[in-house]
Amino acid sequence: MNDKFYEINVLNQDGSCQNLREYEGKVLLVVNTATGCGFTPQYKELEEYYREFKDKGFEVLDFPCNQFLEQAPGNDTEINQFCSLKYDTTFKRFKKVLVNGENKCDLFKYLEDACPYKGKGLKMGMLQKLSHAKDNEIRWNFTKFLVDREGNVVARFEPVDKMDKIKKFIAELVK
């Protein structure tokens, strides 16, 4: 059991604090998202995977982020309404966060250290230049981290990774 992961606190949309211990024993896909990004249509697959695997202990944890070209404008309520209406999302969405820089949230600090960036070719190189990301920092919206039932970060998926590849990883972990 990886207690360090489960000791992390995050903020719900209403600003209340939530400990990740609530998700102990579940397979998690933690995603930084944006409503106005070229990758925003990935919400469709995220919701499909959530519905397919939630009864097997799978959760999507959505953390909106406005750090990349301000592609997540609006407040938390507006973002939630957009996602619910446009993509019929039903998975948990948290308060907007910073995923890079001095004030990044503790969860993304942990995720970046646990599963470093490995480089993903020309598209990711271009996104890195736009984002000015350093070392293991998030390059863009819709970076995903897969966490097993023990709280171990087992994979990092960049926004350009094929969603069906991610689904295969999830399916293996929820068996």
In sequence order, the 6+-apart residues with CB closer than 8 A to the CB of 103 are: none
105 is catalytic: no
The active-site residue out of 17, 37, 83, 115 is 37
Hey, how many other C-beta atoms are within 10 angstroms of the C-beta on 97?
20
Counting DSSP H helices and E strands in the chain, the numbers are 6, 7
Q: What Cα–Cα distance (Å) separates residue 108 from each residue in 28, 42, 43, 71, 174? A: 14, 20, 20, 18, 23
Q: Annotated active-site positions, please?
A: 37
